Amino acid sequence: MCVWLAVWQILSLCIGQEVLFASPRATFSRLFSLLGTGDFWLKALHSLLGIMEGYLLGVCGGILLAVLTACSKWLLAVFKPMLTVIKTTPVVSFIILALVWLQKESVPVFISFLMVLPIVWANLTTGIAETNPQLLEMARVYRLSKRKILRYIYFPSVLPALLTSLTTAIGFAWKAGIAAEVISTPRESIGAQLYNAKVYLETADLFAWTLVVILLSMLFERLIVFLVGKISALAAKEGV
Amino acid sequence: MNVTFQDVSVRYADKTVFTHFTHTFSFSGVTALMGASGVGKTTFLRVLCGLEKPESGSVTGFPARFTYLFQEDRLLPWLDALQNVAVVCDEASARRALEEVGLGEELHTKPAELSGGMRRRVALARAFAHDSDFLLLDEPFQGLDDSLRAALLPLLQKEALRRPVLFVTHDRREAQSLDASVLELHGSPAVL
C-alpha cells in the first residue's frame, strides 16, 4: 500500500498539475473534508442503498430463474439467449436504455440487478447441472420426498456455487451501479458527484469520490465474504 | 414372487449383454447372483428393477417398492452416518440398523472420516432400514474382511424373512452359508 502511495505521489510530482492528476495530499485532504459533511453521508447512503437493492433483487431473481430453468427445458430455451445477451451487451447500452424507460433514480438499481442476475443464474445452473446423478438415482430408488431431495442433495450441491456467485456479483454490482449513476446522475448519489467533478475539472474531488467507491466496494465485498463464511460454517454444522 | 423377463435385449456401444433373454424367476428367501466379472450381473439387477430400460422386451412382476444397494456406497457426503440412514427411515430405526452393522460408535461421523469398509456398512444399514418389498444388493460385502462378512451374513437371512433378497457375489461360500438359491450368468450375451 505504501509503495503505491509513493508511486502516486511521484507521478503527481512528475505531472505537476493538480487539475490533470491530483496528489495524494490533495485527494485525502478533500476526502477528509467530505467526511465531515452530512451531505457526503447522505449521498454515500443513497448510492449504497440503491446498489444493494439491485444486488439483492439480482440474487433473488437469479435463484428463482435458475430453479425455473432447471425445472423446465422450455423455460431454459426461452431465458438462456436473453441471459447471454445481457452478459455480452455493453453495460452502457443498458444504462442508456434504462434512462429512456425508467426514472433516473431507479437506473442504478436496475443496472445492478441486471449485472447480478446472470452471474447468480449461471453459477446456480451449473451447480444444479453438476449435481451427482448417482445420488439422484439413489434418492429415486429410496423414494425420498421432493423436500428431502432439495434439502439433502440439491441444496448442499449448489451451495458452493451460490456462495461463489454472491461474492463475484457484489463487485460487478458496484462497478455497474456507479457507472449507471455517473450517466443517469440521480441527485443524491456518488455517481453524480463523480460526474460534477469531471465537468468542473475538480480532479481532487474525482479522486476522493473514486476512493470512496473503492472503499465502499471493498467493505461490502468483505461483508459478503464474511456472511458467506458464516453461512458455509452453519451449513457444515447442520450437516448440509 | 415371480418376475418374468420377456425377450429382453440389452446392448451397449461395445457389448451385447442380453439378446432375446426370456425367463421367469421365482424369488423367495435369499438368492445369490453369480458370474464372472463383466458378464452382466449389475445390468441384470438394474433391468430387473427398472432402473435401466432394455433396448427391447419387458420385465414384469417386479414390485414398485424395492431397495437397491449400489456397487458404489452413494452416501451423502455432507451428512453423518446416522443422518445418512435416517433419510430413508425414522431416527430410531436408523440408529438400530447402524448398531446392527457394528457402527454404534460412529453415528455422528461423516463418510469422509470413515474407512471404506465402514462406509460400505453405512450403505448396508441404509438398505436394511429402508422398508420395501424386495432387497437388491450389488456386491454388498465388497471391501469387508472375512470376520465382518461372517458377522453381516446373518443380517441378510433376517432380511429374507420379510422380503426376497437378491445379492450379487463372487464368493460361492457366501451363497452356501446362507443356503441361498444360486443364479449364475455365463457368456456373452449372458445366459443362465
Q: What is the pLDDT of residues B108-161, one digit of tens each?
A: 999 999 999 999 999 999 999 999 999 999 999 988 888 898 889 999 989 999
Segment B22-49 shows an average pLDDT of: 90
> Which region, left, alpha or beta, applies to residue A201 given φ > 0 means left and ψ of -120 to 50 means alpha?
left
Q: Answer whether residue A120 is part of any domain.
A: yes
Q: What strands, in cross-sheet order, belong to the sheet with B181-185?
A: B67-69, B135-137, B165-168, B30-35, B181-185
DSSP codes joined into one string, A58-83 = HHHHHHHHHHHHHH-HHHHHHHHHHH
**For the segment B75-101, what is each residue's pLDDT rounded down to a tens digit?**
999 999 999 999 999 999 999 999 999
Strand B56-60, strand B2-12: pairing: antiparallel
CA distance B126 to chain A (A): 9
Q: Answer whether residue A25 is part of any domain.
A: no
Q: Answer whether residue A29 is part of any domain.
A: no
Nearest to A239 among B66, B74, B80 (CB): B80
User: What is the rounded distance in angstroms from the CA atom of residue B161 to the CA atom of residue B164?
Assistant: 8
Segment B151-175 shows an average pLDDT of: 90
Check B87 against A156: CB less than 8 A apart: no
Segment A28-40 shows an average pLDDT of: 90
Nearest CA in chain B to A159: B78
Nearest CA in chain B to A157: B78
Q: Give the distance, in angstroms, between the CA of residue B115 and the centroid of all CA atoms in the same chain.
A: 20
Q: Answer whether residue A28 is part of any domain.
A: no
User: What is the rounded distance in angstroms from the CA atom of residue B168 to the CA atom of residue B38?
Assistant: 12
Q: Answer whether residue A99 is part of any domain.
A: yes
Between chain A and chain B, how many beta carbons pairs sit less than 8 Å apart? 39
Check B87 against A144: CB less than 8 A apart: yes
- In this structure, the dihedral spanned by the alpha carbons of residues B18, B22, B27 and B30, taken in order and rounded to 10 degrees, is -30
**For the segment A160-216, what is each residue's pLDDT rounded down to a tens digit?**
898 889 988 998 999 999 999 999 998 889 999 999 988 888 899 999 999 999 999
Q: Which residues of B touch A138 (CB under 8 A)?
A: 70, 74
B/e letters for B107-130, b = 16+ CB within 10 Å, e = fewer, are: beebbeebeeebbbbbbbbbbbbb
Select from A63, A41, A158 the least CA-distant residue to B78. A158
Nearest to A138 among B65, B74, B83 (CB): B74
Residue range(s) defining the domain that contains residue A83? 40-237
Q: Flag whether pLDDT at A219 surpasses 80.
A: yes
Q: Answer whether residue A14 is part of any domain.
A: no
Nearest CA in chain B to A136: B74
Q: Answer whether residue A84 is part of any domain.
A: yes
The band of A18, judged by pLDDT with boundaries at 50, 70 and 90, is: confident
The band of A236, judged by pLDDT with boundaries at 50, 70 and 90, is: low
CATH number at residue A208: 1.10.3720.10
Q: B130 CB near a chain A CB, below 8 Å?
A: yes
Check A134 against B78: CB less than 8 A apart: no
Q: Which residues of B touch A135 (CB under 8 A)?
A: 74, 76
Residues of A with CB under 8 A from a CB of B: 134-135, 137-138, 141-144, 148, 152-153, 156, 235-236, 239-240
Residue with cell 447441472: A129
Q: Answer whether residue A30 is part of any domain.
A: no
- Number of structural domains (chain A) is 1
Check B66 against A141: CB less than 8 A apart: yes
Nearest CA in chain B to A236: B78
- Percentage of chain A modeled with pLDDT above 70: 98
